[in-house]
Structure 1
Amino acid sequence: MDRRLFLQMVGAGGLAATSVACPRFLSKAKGGPEPPAPFGIPTSCELCPNKCSVLAMVEDGRVRKLNPNPENPKSRGMLCARGNAAIQQVYDPDRLKQPLIRAGARGEGKWRPVSWDEAFDYAAARLRVTRDKYGPEGTLWSSTEGFQEVFFKNLGMAFGSPNILRHPSLCLASVNLAYSVTFGTVPSFDLLNAKYVIMAGANRFESIITPDTMDLIGGVMERKAKFVYLDPRFTVTASKADEWYPIRPGTDMAFILAMIQVIISEERHDKVFVDQWTLGFEQLAEHVKGCTPEWAEGETGIPARDIRRIAREFADAGHRAVFYAGRRSSWYQNDFQMRRAQAILNAIVGNWDREGGMVPNRKVAKGEFLFLPWDDPKASRVDEIEKAFPLASAKDGAYLPLRENVLKGKPYPVKAWMIYKQDPLNAVPDQGKTLRMMEGMDFIGVVDIAMSDTAWYADVVFPESHYLERTDPIEVMPGIWPAAVLRQQVVKPIHDTRPCLEIAQGLAKRLGLSDYFDYTIDQWIEAEAKELPVENGLEYMKKHGVVAFSEPKYGTTRNAVYRFVTKSGKIELFSERLQEAGHDPLPAYAAPAQPPAGRYRMILGRKATMTHAALANLPWLHEHNPENDLWLNAGEAARLGIRTGDLVEVSSTAGTVRLKARATEEIRPDCVFMLHGFGKKSPWLRSVHNVGAADAVLLETAWDKVSGNAAMHETFVKVVKV
């Protein structure tokens, strides 16, 4: 595919995707007819968390084209810009091609190519030294989502470290915890069948999530469901909404509480559902009495008459009305409670487990490979999550509190850091602190496909094989249309790279842990496939790449015997668990701090051509977003003597960057905005090395009070023309 055709497909919002003519959904149940095999080698995309099913067209041992696999209902028959660019990633000349050991000072860029044996020996020796001196708890193992992440985590746990750190506390932790506390689970939103949708800051038409984005297009754009959007910035999503409100940052909860107040005071809630399925309605009604639309207007800047009308329209849409949670990190330190308010608003209109509402996720059953278990770690976690955030997931950890403790050396030293598929230097706020944390490490090992900024500062780099070059475990994707997908190898590795399982096994052998990894990937997936709801599960998976349920089910939890996985067994509007943990049992609003004179609130976002801080180096994607700039309100820009294209210096207490300015009416006067994923330190990422600026340099350290999730919009910055 040539560049021009690709960019035409990507389109102005980065949304366009290739598709093939096909039935909308295909499924296979035991005893039923088998659909025809797809054309191409089935596998599953890895370039974002969506896990879309892909058909790889291979000629002469080379991937020539990637098509969407129509059998996966979650892919919606689509393959986005990122998915198409996977071909470039395989054959990217900047890829890591063999193991490397640092030969100079950290960050100096001097590397020595080595064999796998030497890389394994070196890393294992350094890990043993750390264990002998500080115990296994002296090591940190952090990773981001991936089908082979399980092997990396297992290596850290088998080693004896309690410090397994995953990406959710930079992503979905506050959302997931808020909905779990309320409903006992995290539901999906049936946007395809909703009649009224409210979103706050979830810029779905630019930072796409399949299937939500496709369903939003189908539900809102095609069927004209009412769509209300709140965001300080006029995004592509805002341009598609029926109503856009440039809400004052940090006041989303005030808007939601006012909606709840109107719905309850006017008795527009679903009385039957609330009486039968919820706990704490009386306390909620008392709690929101003073949260009138007039009060919320003073907080949000949204007219009271509009808040009152929106609340009435939302309630009138009943179970087909949803306040969509979105998928991104915390914005503010009260993010959990804001998400709780969302969940409560959804609950009182009775949209639980109904078509067009919130639907509890189903799963496709799969088997499990039984391996030798290891002993539980003897030490507590270094982030002290059990004490500081008792309701949060100790399996995932809390990134920012952990970093604070590591820098202080409390409650014990952590001196070795193993990292899989993650770039903490760009993913974690306050890059300067992350650099100081890295400088304090005796050893850093990175497993990745490219020389990220974090890899650039490592001691040893293990190159992982591309997803098209390896076979991964079967992955279950819960949802309204649940699926299980297989990522299978379609071409041989073109460089001296290995899958994460083999990297873990190579280190385990030298650390005396081989017994815990005594299996092959084929044995692993064979065990998983045995419980799939299809005949000859493994053969079927290899042939089709996906097993999915083609029709959603509604109402399975709306029966007299169902018990929600909460303390009371009901949907908890008032939460005793929160009260016992020392938190507000109902969402309590506190007005956010406002930028002092001469400062602006920093907000950030992403586009569909990037995943986290990655992929911007791939030519097809880079040419669509060659550089980021600073969005600054046109009136403020004129006051500062700044024009579009001028170089500006942006500074906070965390750091300073320089980038070009964009003077625009499409952002509030009290905010500035930067696109995530630029300003890389690694010269091996040639397209984005020192291009634009990294928001992680500016963002200050702040986290949500309940979940420990990173709060990304708590930073005030100063802007001056250079």
Structure 2
Amino acid sequence: MKNGITRRGFVQATAATAAATALAGPTLRAFAETTTKEEPKAEEGGTWVSSACQGCTSWCAVQVYVEDGRVVKVKGNPNSKANRGFICPRPHLAIQQLYDPDRLKGPMKRTNPKKGRDEDPGFVPISWDEATEAIADKLMELRATGETHKFMFLKGRSTNNSDVFFKALPQIYGSRNCFAHSTICAEAEKLGAGVTEGYWDYRDYDVANTRYFIMWGTDPIASNRQIANISNHFGDMTDNATVAVVDPRLSVTAAKGDEWLPVIPGQDGALASAIAHVILVEGRWNKDFVGDFSDGENRFVAGSKVDEGLFAENRTNGLVKWWNVELFDKTPEWAEPLCGIPAEQIYRVARGFASAAPNATSWMSPGVAMQVRGAYMAMATNALNGLVGSVENVGGPNRAPSVPAGKLPDIRPYQDEIALAGVKQPYFDQRGTFDFPAVAKGKLHDQVITNRIADCLNEGEPYDIKMVISYWNNWVYSCTGAQRWEEALAKLPFFVHITLNPAEMSQFADIVLPARHQMFERWGSVTNKQDLHSYTALEQPVVEPLWDTLTDETEISWLIAEKLADKGFPNVLDYYRECFHDPETDAAPQSGKDLSLFATKIMTKPLWDPASDKKGGDELAGWDDFVEKGIWNSKKQGYREHWDDFGTKTGKYEFYSETLKGILEEHAAGFGKTVDELMKELNYQARGEAAFVPHYEEAYREGDESEYPFVFSEHRSRLNREGRTANTSWYQEFKDVDPGDEPWDDVLKINPVDCEKLGIETGDAVRVTSVQGSIVVHAKAWEGTRPGVVVKCYGQGHWAYGKIATKDYAAKVPRGGNNNEIIPSNFERISSSTTRHGGLARVKIEKVEEA
């Protein structure tokens, strides 16, 4: 470490250094001097204020220590039953985000009409009045020509207030083209659970009572949706349970687990089928949950099919059909050469998992689901829970209690004829074509296809888009096939980007608007689940906002609504004024600041209103009580609540998925096609009955092996606040918390055997090239990946975002490389998920001279 501080001291040092960092000039230091024992403790002069972190998808409740008007440190909210007062490193990094001198400090306008990475936008400061005037002018131009549908709204992360801006404004105006980020996140994961157990959402996990984990492509100490919860529980987990991690790289979780299964990327399905085969052949399935042969004799014999009539199922559907279609010959010996895991280890893990059942969890994640053929891997890994009866059981994967929430007021009375005509136009992302069933919560043609929007913009199909507003996203950086987004945004006639830092996406904008930091400067709320509790955590301004910034979802939308009203279209402003009264005083909002507070109160009223039914959750005494405590917790999730009806088509846990069968047949029939024809179009190998059961599909790669000999695999950083932390010195200084990584660098981790063959040593600059593009990074000889597979962390490679994130900010020279510039754009097409895992990209590696 450059400053002589260990990783262990990271959190302890935060309190002493955050204030110094906040006052630093343009060049930030990782740490200042630590406090001495003689210096007073921070608690002697400040106040703890509740808020919430959105640094990952856990959305933990936190408390922020404020002293002399500055954020000094953060901790987990002790009122939370989900994280129990514990947090990971990410909330600490938010302090540097807040006081980042490279933050956008006021509205900016483009002066160079040419757009592209190599173009200087020529941004100049403007007022909020000038910025919103320009936005309203463009919106009114489209209304005048009856082209309101050619306005598009894009969002990334958001709060429970998002629909105030993201839904209400465009739909009252006249466009249905409001697209969120969800399918670049993990929708294929939801699909895997939806078509097997009828739960179209992310699962929670009873980690305290689990006795065996199989973690598929997930590193929950560092990423995924349970970071604070798992990090806090992990010591007890390793004492009480066996932890088996299926991951191409030696992750933090794998390094601390009992079994590491370094699977060949994308071949997880072979391993899952082999585990299921062993459980059935050895009679280790859960007979109470699944059922048994009528005479008690196990007829699951390797290589032999079984008469379905001999097996009586209890709470499941199609076990024997699954065996006959897929599992009967899928032995560990068959799987070993395909997935790269020794047969002996497959047997051991299968037996250990089944022996611990039902207190066992097969943890399916985006790592196995977000692949071109990922739906069936998601099904296969999730089906192991059904096989051992752990679904919704003690120590297994569980659903979550519902959270009472306020509703967006009805917008229909505020839509005029122009708006109603606009919202009837087809969705711009072309969902529902034959090659995109776009399934959301079991419904066809209802899923956003986020990463396809770039292709639609480039092709001008189904029509040309003339104006875009976008907030809390950076898809030029965060979407695979990133170069497509550069091309697409360069073509847009008018683009508005609302952002904390001037990001890659901002470089293509005509207007850039500065947002407030969600954790420290704004009102909002977020809802999630951990540790068998659902919760809503409140975000609130804990310090006065820095610079000339506004809250994206409320204050900016109010200003745009006012300008539209000035130009003869008052509908949006009328909606805000008439529908967002303070639920305590009934006062109508007079400003965007009022709208921000009142919307937050409306959306959370069922939680804090003493008269509301809390459904067994926390009893809050009112709004002030909610503000002070910062969180509402549900009751604890009960076990086995859906065993009598899972919500699938059969009501059972479906190994043979009648639910999926109905979806695929309906979609195919709508085009006069068969399911087999559909499977071919969707790039799946399954034909016939295999399309309806969990099964092995060969990993899909892009790039010929002879030219691109290495499989590329990526992972997430423990310090990455969703790709937004690279401009903080703490992120760069402590980058080696991610196994194999180096501080202030971006490395490609290569097995030493491959390094020797290539004549490459640690520290050499290398060009990594795929069919999509090239990046230049440093090589790192590392035993934590298998020969033939190279691994790189996502999060570096910014060519914008700030002076720390980049090597040369003015010249747009990145620090390392962006993975999305070498991972091609492709999809798991049933769910519309963008695919980034499973070794989609093959790459070649060449040693180059240091730039």
Considering the TM-score relative to the shorter chain, is it more than 0.5?
A: yes
What is residue 271 of structure 2 aligned with on the other side? 255
The CA distance in 1 between the partners of 2:258 and 2:801, in whole Å, is 44
Deviations 1:69-90 (A, max 9, x none): 1111222322322201222222
1:663 partnered with 2:781: yes
Match of 1:75 among 80, 83, 105: 83
Q: Distance in 1 between matches of 2:145 and 2:233?
A: 54
Partner SS, residue 314 of structure 2: helix
Counterpart of 2:492 in structure 1 is 441
Deviations 1:113-146 (A, max 9, x none): 1111111111222334455558233233221222
Q: Which residue identity is paired with 2:828?
A: D
Q: Does the CA-based 8 Å contact 1:371-1:517 persist in structure 2?
A: no
Select which of 169, 177, 180 maps to 2:194.
Answer: 180
RMSD: 2.6
Match of 2:479 in 1: 428
Asked whether the 8 Å contact 2:109–2:510 carries over to 1, the reply is yes
Hey, what's the Cα distance between the residues in 2 that align with 1:118 and 1:681? 29
CA contact (8 A) 1:169 1:329 kept: no
Number of aligned residues: 694
Q: Within 5 A, what are the aligned runs for 1:106-505?
A: 106=115, 107-130=119-142, 135-147=147-159, 148-154=161-167, 155-185=169-199, 186=201, 187-207=203-223, 209-214=226-231, 217-221=234-238, 223-274=239-290, 275-287=313-325, 288-327=327-366, 330-368=369-407, 370-373=409-412, 377-387=423-433, 388-392=436-440, 397-479=448-530, 480-500=532-552, 501-505=554-558
What is the rounded CA distance, in whole Å, between the counterparts of 1:668 and 1:615 in structure 2?
29
Cα distance change on mapping 1:141 and 1:330 into 2, 3 Å: farther
C-alpha distance in 2, partners of 1:577/1:103?
54
d(CA) in 2 for partners of 1:134, 1:233: 53
Q: Which of 533, 554, 565 is the equivalent residue of 2:639? A: 554
Q: Which digits, 9 at most, give the CA deviation of each residue in 1:578-624, with x for residues without a partner? A: 22313511123232256613521111111111123211101222221
On the 8 A contact 1:68/1:75 being kept in 2, the answer is: yes
Change (3 A) 1:624 1:354: same
The residue type equivalent to 1:151 in the other structure is: V
Alpha-carbon offset, residue 325 of structure 1: 1.6
Deviations 1:456-512 (A, max 9, x none): 221111111122444433333245112221111111112110011111122233343
Q: Give 3-state SS (helix, strand or coil) of 2:767's partner.
A: strand
Please give the alpha-carbon distance, in whole angstroms, between the structure 2 residues aligned to 1:65 and 1:637: 43
In structure 1, distance between residues paired with 2:228 and 2:386: 23
Q: Residues of 2 paired with 1:457 and 1:347: CA distance?
A: 48
Partner Cα separation in structure 1 for residue 233 and residue 801 of structure 2 = 39
CA distance in 1, matches of 2:429, 2:635: 42
Which among 678, 698, 715 is matched to residue 822 of structure 2? 698
The amino acid that maps onto 2:477 is N
Corresponding residue for 2:721?
A: 611
Give the direction of change, closer, same or farther, for the CA distance of 1:344–1:504 in structure 2 (3 Å limit).
Answer: same
Match of 2:601 among 507, 526, 549: 526
What is the aligned counterpart of 1:623 among 713, 716, 733? 733
| Distance in structure 1 (CA, Å) of the matches to 2:68 and 2:637 | 41
Among 620, 623, 626, the alignment partner of 1:541 is 626
Matched residues in 2 for 1:506 and 1:593: separation?
48
Contact 1:142–1:418 (CA under 8 A) maintained in structure 2: yes
- Whether the aligned pair in 1 keeps the contact of 2:729 and 2:804 (CA below 8 Å) is no
- SS of 1:414's partner is coil
Greater CA deviation, 524-533 or 665-674?
524-533
Measured at CA, do residues 535 and 637 of structure 1 come closer, stay the same or move farther in structure 2, by a change above 3 Å?
closer
SS of 1:286's equivalent in the other structure is helix
Q: Deviations over 1:182-222 (max 9, x none)?
A: 2221331222221000112212233364344325514433x
**Residue identity opposite 1:425 in structure 2:** V
Question: Helix, strand or coil: the match of 1:291?
Answer: coil
Q: Does 1:509 align with 2:619?
A: no
Contact map agreement 1:657 1:698 (CA 8 A) in 2: yes
Which residue of structure 1 lines up, in the alignment, with residue 648 of structure 2?
566
Residue in 2 that maps onto 1:586: 693
- Cα separation, 2, equivalents of 1:537 and 1:3: 47
**Gap change, CA 1:610 and 1:130, over 3 Å in 2:** farther
Go from structure 1 to structure 2 and tell me whether the alpha carbon gap of 1:445 and 1:693 turns closer, same or farther (over 3 Å shift): same
- CA distance, structure 1, for counterparts of residue 6 and residue 147 of structure 2: 51
- Partner AA of 1:41 in structure 2: V
1:710 and 2:834 equivalent? yes
SS in 2 for 1:482: strand
Deviation at 1:331, TM superposition (A): 4.1
What residue in structure 2 maps to residue 679 of structure 1? Answer: 797
Q: Alpha-carbon deviations, 1:249-293, whole Å to 9, x = none?
A: 111011111111222233321122123322222211212112121
Contact 1:174–1:704 (CA under 8 A) maintained in structure 2:
yes
- 1:296-324 deviation per Cα after TM superposition (whole angstroms, max 9, x unaligned): 11211212232123212211111111111
Structure 1 distance, partners of 2:53, 2:6, is 18
Work out the CA distance in 2 between the residues paired with 1:345 and 1:82.
33
Distance in 1 separating the partners of 2:786 and 2:402: 42
Change (3 A) 1:5 1:396: farther
The residue identity in structure 1 corresponding to 2:726 is: A
SS in 2 for 1:590: coil
How many angstroms does 1:402 deviate by? 3.0
Deviations 1:542-574 (A, max 9, x none): 11101214644323334xxx4222222222221
Kept after mapping to 2: 8 A contact 1:631/1:674: yes
Call closer, same or farther: CA 1:541–1:396 in 2, change over 3 Å. farther
Residue 833 of structure 2 aligns to a residue whose secondary structure is: coil
**Distance across 2 between alignment mates of 1:569 and 1:632:** 47
Displacement after TM superposition at 1:328 (Å):
5.5
TM-score (norm 2): 0.77
Identity over aligned pairs, percent: 27
CA distance in 1, matches of 2:711, 2:195: 30
The structural deviation recorded for 1:390 is 4.0
Structure 1 match to 2:64: 56
Q: Is the 8 A contact 2:750 2:782 kept in 1?
A: yes
Corresponding position of 1:25: none
Gaps of 5+ in 2: 19-45, 291-312, 581-594, 608-613, 665-674, 680-690, 736-743, 808-813
Q: Write the distance in 1 (CA, Å) between the matches of 2:143 and 2:748.
A: 45
User: Which segment drifts farther, 476-485 or 256-265?
Assistant: 476-485
- Normalising by structure 1, report the TM-score: 0.91
